[in-house]
Amino acid sequence: MAMAASACKGLLLVALAAAVLSTASATLQYDFYSSSCPKAEDVVRNATMKIIAGNPTMGAAFVRLFFHDCFVKGCDASILLDQSNSNPQPEKLAIPLRGYDAVNTIKAAVEAVCPGVVSCADILAYAARDSAMISGGFTFAMPGGRRDGVASDLNDIPASLPSPSMQVQQLISSFGAKGLSADDLVALSGAHSFGQTHCSFVTPRLYPSLDKTMDKAFGAALQNECPRRGPGGAVLNNNNVTDPNALTNQYYKNVIAGQVMFTSDQTLTSSAATAKMVQDNAANPVAWMARFAGAMVRMGGIEVLTATQGEIRNFCGATNSGS
């Protein structure tokens, strides 16, 4: 019975992702590499599984990289580009993200099978999807066909990326500008059930006085971890209530309890509409998984490059021109 339930869950998520593809991008396709590189998704999955087995924190890192990539200039792997003459101030210089070397490892594995065929943008999308499978226990189909951009500029970030200090209406507007709904906002916020952050992002809610929306015991524990004059770079688990490496709907229970790190998390209870979504996701884990899957597919269609646009990078950290 358990195996049958698991199979039904997987079919539900795949069906939902298929249903929402048209709202993400009509130019992306499922099984995009079925002819040009039939083993592409299997190679990405196997490499991603090996990486997360060695370091369980990497599941959250892949999902976060995918989010940052898609929200800034679209899902074009611009977040992966290193500093160069043509990109003197790439996005990666502005935000302390992890996973760049891991993506390069996956890319090398794919290149060994199908050189010059699979984009870094698609590899990142597949790795994020596979992170949900490995760290969350559910999977879904992710369309492919994205091509890699040739530009990356950290100055594009402020107007594109939602901030941890945003209030709910600001978040809804930020997601809306990318073609995503309030439902998508709440569903994707569930990724804060796993991963790491730094004290510098949390201390505004701790000092000079504890944020009134934060659980007092939870806040006191954070104050111990993040002293007022302590190092802002100290690492915290996004969710120290449960397993910080598990992608689950526990996040929504934490939001209800006032045990979350960011203003952008707690503010989801300040609007009747988003508060209802939080309650529903907390009570219905399989429904949340389906919503998360659909939102990931839609996010994966933001401002994509396809057909002859962009390029297929040989190395994810550099454009093919090398400049």
Cα 216 to Cα 212: distance, rounded to the nearest angstrom: 8
Which residues does 40 contact at the CB level (< 8 Å), separation at least 6?
33, 110, 113, 114, 117, 118, 122, 126, 144
Does 68 qualify as catalytic in the annotation? yes
- Answer yes or no: is 198 a known binding residue: no
Whether the bond into 56 is cis, omega within 30 of 0: no
* SS3 state of residue 132: helix
- Answer yes or no: is 78 a known binding residue: yes
- Answer yes or no: is 72 a known binding residue: yes
**Sign of torsion, CA 243 249 253 256?**
positive
- Answer yes or no: is 184 a known binding residue: no
Sequential DSSP letters for 147-163:
BB-S---GGGSTTTSPP
Cα 188 to Cα 303: distance, rounded to the nearest angstrom: 18
- Answer yes or no: is 192 a known binding residue: yes
- Scanning 1-39, the segments in alpha helix (DSSP H) are 2-24
Q: Which of 68, 92, 147, 253 is catalytic?
A: 68
- Scanning 139-271, the segments in alpha helix (DSSP H) are 168-176, 182-189, 199-202, 216-225, 250-257, 263-266
Residue whose C-alpha is closest to residue 109's, from 97, 127, 95, 134 = 127
**Sign of torsion, CA 283 289 294 298?**
positive
Which helix (H) or strand (E) segment holds residue 197: the answer is strand 196-198
Backbone region of residue 116 per phi and psi (left: phi > 0; alpha: psi in -120 to 50; beta: other values):
left
- Answer yes or no: is 111 a known binding residue: no
Q: Residue 41: what residue type?
A: E
Which residues participate in the annotated binding site for substrate? 162
Binding residues for heme b, by number, are 192
Q: List the binding residues.
A: 69, 72, 74, 76, 78, 91, 162, 192
What residues are designated binding site for Ca(2+)? 69, 72, 74, 76, 78, 91
Residues designated as active site: 68
